[in-house]
């Protein structure tokens, strides 16, 4: 007899990092994994769209400046092209001006972090946007 699959509610949430800098992705992976979340990464906006369709992440850290489509356009496409995509998108940027923040929010972003960022900033965003149920 095969035991049925039960959803015990302990499945780790999936966080996706999108950045063309491998060191940023490694840094995010270490912090997110240590906090008990699963992590997937993409090095471009195009790869992020493909991965998001397949994996349906619970939260996305998204770099603004990347080759190909930038973070703003990637976020717009996540929101427009993937049915029911409601995951929080947190932009990562070195830009420190109100226009960049407003552009991120207008693209469908929920929050932003200024690079370089500390592990504590990542943990704060995880706690804010992925509260324990």
- What is the b/e burial string over 57-66, where b = at least 16 CB atoms within 10 angstroms of the residue's CB? bbbbbbbbeb
Mean pLDDT throughout 71-97? 94
pLDDT of residue 48: 97
CATH code of the domain occupying 14-127: 3.40.50.2300
Which residue ranges make up each domain of the chain?
14-127
pTM: 0.90
pLDDT score of 8 more than 80: no
pLDDT of residue 7: 45
């Amino acid at each position: 007899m095969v035991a049925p699959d039960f959803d015990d509610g302990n499945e780790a949430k999936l966080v996706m990092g999108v950045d063309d800098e491998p060191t940023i992705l490694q840094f995010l992976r270490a912090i997110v994994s240590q906090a008990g979340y699963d992590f997937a990464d993409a090095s471009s906006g195009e790869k992020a769209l493909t991965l998001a369709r397949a994996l349906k992440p619970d939260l996305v850290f998204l770099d603004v400046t990347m080759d190909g489509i930038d973070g703003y356009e990637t976020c717009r496409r996540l929101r427009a092209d993937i049915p029911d995509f409601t995951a929080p998108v947190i932009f990562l940027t070195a830009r420190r001006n109100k226009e960049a923040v407003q552009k991120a929010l207008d693209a469908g972003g929920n929050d932003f972090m200024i690079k370089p960022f500390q592990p504590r900033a990542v943990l704060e965003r995880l706690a804010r946007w992925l509260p324990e149920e």
